[in-house]
Amino acid sequence: MHELAATESLLTAALRAAEGAGARKVLRIVVSVGHYTGILPEYVEKYFPTASSGTAAEGAALEFQVLPVRVACGSCGTESELAVEDADAGIPEYACRVCGGREFRLLPSNWDIRVESIEVD
């Protein structure tokens, strides 16, 4: 059910941006979704027509970009990406490419969902 709240938040952000640009219609919304948000794009797509009905975003296309899993080395702080398959399998085999460290922390972007861009008319 949190997809409905996410859909409404994304819609609000897109409408504000469109209004700020003086646009009459939102044609496309590009959304980035962190791997660990728990947001399923297909549900956002399901809720979007109802949430956007009667707004400048009614009929807009949605495009999703699932962000790679981002980590930082616990020793030197170097940031890198993990293959999603490795992250989903549990704690992946990880070695920092700079210092060889084997401890890491997940970065906050893994839980982000945001409007990356909108196409307006």
Q: Do 57 and 76 share a domain, yes or no?
A: no
Q: Do 7 and 60 share a domain, yes or no?
A: yes
Compute the average pLDDT of residues 66-88: 82
> How much is the pLDDT for 86?
54
Structure-block tokens of residue 3: 């997809």
Q: Which residues on adjacent β-strands are paired with residue 65?
A: 32
Q: Do 16 and 57 share a domain, yes or no?
A: yes
More confident residue, 108 or 88: 108
Please report which confidence band the pLDDT of residue 73 belongs to, taking 50, 70 and 90 as the band edges: very high
- Domains identified in the chain, total number: 2
Domain around 13:
2-67+110-120
> What's the whole-number average pLDDT of the chain?
89
Residue-wise pLDDT for 15-59, tens only, equals 999 999 999 999 999 999 998 898 999 999 999 999 999 999 999
The pTM for the full model equals 0.80
Q: Do 61 and 88 share a domain, yes or no?
A: no
Q: Do 102 and 115 share a domain, yes or no?
A: no
State the Cα–Cα distance between residues 107 and 54, nearest whole angstrom.
37
